[in-house]
Amino acid sequence: MPPNPPPAQTPPAVSLFEAFVFWLRLGLISFGGPAGQISIMHQELVEKRRWLSERRFLHALNYCMLLPGPEAQQLATYIGWLMHRSWGGVIAGVLFVLPSLLLLIGLSWVYIAFGEVPLVAGIFYGIKPAVTAIVVQAASRIGARALRNHWLWAIAAAAFVAIFAFDLPFPLIVLGAALLGYLGGRLLPEQFSVGGGHGAAASRHGPALLDDDSPPAPHTRFRASRLALLVLVGALLWLLPMGLLCGLYGWQGTLTQMAWFFTKAALLTFGGAYAVLPYVYQGAIGHYGWLSPSQMIDGLALGETTPGPLIMVVAFVGFIGGYVQQLFGPEQAFLAGALAACLVTWFTFLPSFLLILAGGPLVESTHNQLRFTAPLTGITAAVVGVILNLALFFAYHVLWPQGFAGAFDWPSALIALAAAVALLRYKRGVIEVLGACALAGLLVHLTLA
């Protein structure tokens, strides 16, 4: 039978309340990482509800992929802004994050309070090697999309050597890759052009509320006065809490340093959450000592099993740092952890909202220009090398828990190998693999206990 023809009528206008309900539901079911979250949004907004057309969806997605920050959360913010102005964008972005934040605060407390219980310890014993395999899969997935020629492969290799052999700071690697990308765009433009990684627009699903030929709404037109107002509001939203933290705890206070560190991290997340994790472990583990490498791996596992963007692992980092250091005394350890988790979430996501609300009008009126996209192409290539180094970092701490002088952990190695085969060869889902590895880890832990 021939497929049903697409509907001929444009969908009715969507109220802000209807959009609120949809974004809340999305925030509760957005498992599967950015690819899964973007797929859900495409299915719901383009195919099923027809709130916007395929081309407009892809146009927004391409912009979000070029920004630092979690692309799926930024896409939700962009579409919310497109449909219901700034408040629509804020509602969509906040509801994409809020359920994950609340869940992670609860799970982080369970982890830190009951992590030594045999049941919990066994589960995390199996999850750690699975996370190592997941990071390898991330490097493979991003590399397949980003490393389209030998020039980009060379940038990835140089980034790996820079961080692995010379321990260069992650921001310096990003700046170097951006410079190489810019030069490559000038000298070899065909090698550094954006390759349309999301494909051309597919078949139409009927007329959309925001269609290809829909006239631009007044709020989508660029105005210098609006941009200036957004910059002012954004500066105040950053300066007021930062000033309050400095006044209460001083610049060297733990909460103040968390706010400053994760502000910088927010501006370095080119390529998604896995790209910023090396910077987080360099700072949060190596410099500040807020948590251990083993705890970082466990936090990444919790981030993988909760809805929302994976970068929400920063909430776990903040909670553990605030809880363990007992910022408000031993009786208020949970309060300190919860406050730290909320603070780092605020400072991590504030730049994402500002980049979308400020850049949206420009995106709606312009298309990709090589002099802007080529540096980001170079950064994305470097990210592949950096993530590979992260996988080796995790593998070392999982397979040699007492260091190279200690024994090799064969059960963890077998679990990691099985997880890698399941992810890379058989394309199993992340949550499915984590669940199976958690069960395997529990069995091994109880057997060896």
Provide the pLDDT for residue 255: 94
How far apart CA 20 and CA 6 sit, in angstroms, is 27
302 closest CA partner among 290, 318, 289, 287: 318
How far apart CA 138 and CA 133 sit, in angstroms, is 9
Contacts 24+ apart (CB under 8 A), 58-62: 58/198, 58/199, 58/201, 59/363, 60/363, 61/198, 62/194, 62/198, 62/368
Q: Would you say residue 424 has pLDDT above 80?
A: yes
Q: Would you say residue 427 has pLDDT above 50?
A: yes
Look at 240 and 67; give whichever has higher pLDDT: 240
Provide the pLDDT for residue 429: 79
Provide the pLDDT for residue 343: 96
User: For 180-206, what is the HEC assignment?
Assistant: HHHHHHHHCHHHCCCCCCCCCCCCCCC
Q: Would you say residue 197 has pLDDT above 60?
A: no
Look at 82 and 211; give whichever has higher pLDDT: 82
Cβ atoms 313, 273 nearer than 8 A: yes
Mean pLDDT for 55-74 is 78
Cβ atoms 334, 322 nearer than 8 A: no
Domain ranges for the chain: 98-194+222-448
Provide the pLDDT for residue 21: 93
How far apart CA 89 and CA 97 sit, in angstroms, is 13
pLDDT band at residue 235 under the 50/70/90 scheme: very high
Mean pLDDT for 330-352 is 93
Q: Would you say residue 102 has pLDDT above 80?
A: yes
Range ranked top by mean pLDDT from 161-170, 188-197, 208-217, 238-247: 238-247
Provide the pLDDT for residue 280: 83
Handedness of CA 45, 49, 55, 60 (dihedral sign): negative
Place of tokens 């058989």: 426
234, 240, 242, 244: CA torsion to nearest 10:
-170
Dump pLDDT digits (tens) for 273-309: 666 777 887 888 888 889 888 888 888 878 777 788 8
User: For 270-312, what is the HEC assignment?
Assistant: CCCHHHHHHHHHHHHHHHCCCCCHHHHHHHHHHHHCCCCCHHH
Provide the pLDDT for residue 198: 40
74 bridge partner residues: none
28 closest CA partner among 215, 436, 433, 308: 308
- Give the Å distances, CA to CA, from 397 to 44, 123, 406: 41, 17, 11
Q: Would you say residue 32 has pLDDT above 60?
A: no
Q: Would you say residue 72 has pLDDT above 90?
A: no
Residue type, 256: T
Mean pLDDT for 79-107 is 93
For the chain, give the percent of residues with pLDDT over 90: 35
170 closest CA partner among 64, 286, 255, 293: 286
Mean pLDDT for 106-118 is 82
Provide the pLDDT for residue 200: 39
Burial 353-382 (b: 16+ CB within 10 A, else e): bbbbbbbbbebbeeeeebeebbbbbbbbbb
Provide the pLDDT for residue 440: 94
How far apart CA 331 and CA 136 sit, in angstroms, is 40
**For the chain, what is the mean pLDDT?**
84
How far apart CA 392 and CA 395 sit, in angstroms, is 5
How far apart CA 160 and CA 387 sit, in angstroms, is 8
CA angle 22, 220, 370 (to 5 degrees): 105
Look at 310 and 337; give whichever has higher pLDDT: 337
Q: Would you say residue 324 has pLDDT above 50?
A: yes
Look at 144 and 129; give whichever has higher pLDDT: 129
Mean pLDDT for 78-98 is 93
Cβ atoms 309, 41 nearer than 8 A: no
How far apart CA 117 and CA 340 sit, in angstroms, is 25
Dump pLDDT digits (tens) for 33-47: 666 677 778 878 888
Provide the pLDDT for residue 201: 40
Range ranked top by mean pLDDT from 143-157, 177-191, 199-213, 234-248: 234-248
Provide the pLDDT for residue 444: 92
Pull the structure tokens for residue 24.
Answer: 């809340």
DSSP string, 65-91: HHSSS-HHHHHHHHHHHHHHHHHHHHH
How far apart CA 196 and CA 385 sit, in angstroms, is 22
Provide the pLDDT for residue 10: 79
Provide the pLDDT for residue 374: 81
Provide the pLDDT for residue 17: 94
